[in-house]
Chains A and B, each alone.
Chain A
Amino acid sequence: MSHETESKFQNTTGHVWDEDLQEFNNPLPGWWLWTFYATMIFAVVYWVFYPSWPIGKTFLKGINTIEYVNDKGEKKSSSWNTRALLLQDMNEASKAQEKWVSKLAATPFDKINTDPELKAFVVSAGKVLFQDNCAACHQSGGQGKFNFAPNLTDDDWIFGGSYDAIQQTLVNGRHGIMPAKGGNAALTDADVTALANYVLSLSGEQANAASAEKGKELFAGAGVCFSCHGADGKGNQAIGSANLTDKIWLWANVPGAKSADEKVAAVKEVITTGLNRGVMPVWKGRLSDEQIKLLTAYVHELGGGK
């Protein structure tokens, strides 16, 4: 190990470890030092313009001001802050969209499709809203989710597929309710089996004919099914009772059943336990009236609007 280093360097910190390990004490490079001074000057300038130091019960707000328009249309000025900056930002963006938003507000639903540009706006802006708010349940393409949320791309509607009905669904939300055994607890297991067979036969599924015949009587009689689903089983969109005569199933896993018995069991399960689910949240309040109109038109255009 060499010992000559000690005498070679004069500008060290003076500390020596392990006999000859020393630390240089060279001046900082000029470019670095002056950059450092520049950042300090920048900080002082920043303090003057932007909110910075606390003073007692308040703080230095800076001399920089920001102008914005609030939702009452009043022009206001405030010391610079991100909340005012946001209002500025939102106003700018809504100005850019205003042409289309006001046009949409003024256009009756059935005229939207006659204006290709407005329709293009509905599709592109509606898609964003749909992904943020609706896709969690109805899935990204609006295809719905079995045993959870209905398909919005077909023309089978539970609460109605007219513009007004879709808008109502969005504004007030929905809640699917069917009493267990239609509210008649006296129904026996054989009765429920008969009803299931009849319901399956309504949509042309394979069913036990004798049992279905008995189910038909119960449907219109003791089972009180007719009072909601109608004598013909076609449902009533005003109260959200399902159409039982089509092949579309939301709650009973008929499409996934491998045998006729499984299909009967699937329908029986829904009849026996009833339904108290399918809750669509209330969107009024969370979404603006314009957003709800936009979504109504968008959902209507997904494929199945009436």
Chain B
Amino acid sequence: MTARGSRFAGLGRHLVLGAGAVLMLLPLLWAVRISFLPAEDVFSPQFHLLPSRWIGFENYARALTASPLPRFLLNGVGVCLAIIVCQLLVAIPCAYVLAKARVRGQWLLWLAVLVGLVIPPAALALPLFIMAAQAGLIDTYAGLILPWTISPLGIFLLRQAFSRVPDEIIEAARLDGLGEWEILVRLLVPAVAPAIGALITISLVAHWNDLLWPSVVVTSASKATPPFGVMLFQVQEIGSDYGPLLAGAIMIAAPLLALFILTQRRFLDGMAWLGSK
């Protein structure tokens, strides 16, 4: 009786969870559906759950040929890579000093990081645009990358992680004769690897999907990142042809999805690690 009871309870649990998952995935599934619909089905008065005729990957082919989508993807990879590398190069030493050094005026720096953390990026778009314009960075890769090289969130996350490394480990390393840079690179960075992983993930998602800043600073399609490129392409080429549009959207989301599925365990570990701190 209890075995059957628990089986029913298990079934119930899975039904609830499954329904939740489907609900979450519904917009994505809808996008996938539309990306396979021929143009006449999208606006036809009758509702077709499945395409009335199979057009295969025609919408995908159109998305790829009607716009420089591969170029957008390449731009996205390059810009995100540059941003993340710069963020780590800045955040790791900065966080180390904030966590472990005893420097006069350190609290002021920490305060600046916290202030930076609470200001929404959108609020900075205008001043950043003016600065970029004056520096002649409009419609350049540098204009896309430079404003995001210092990440208050990154400094904050890594500072918290470094604070958790016992001082005794650093002292032992000093006794062993290691220099400060070597201590940082060889001992502390591996010790906070989960936090670095989490930072990379957060940063990648934020900048890959960023629409606002590219739309401010980029004017030509050759420098566009994927979401902004797709938007350009919607307005200029396709108009309201939703099939190819959603095919494009799915293709720009796919790399992140694939990355997430491949690194799912590490990603969740990193997030759990952040949550447990």
Partners in one complex: no
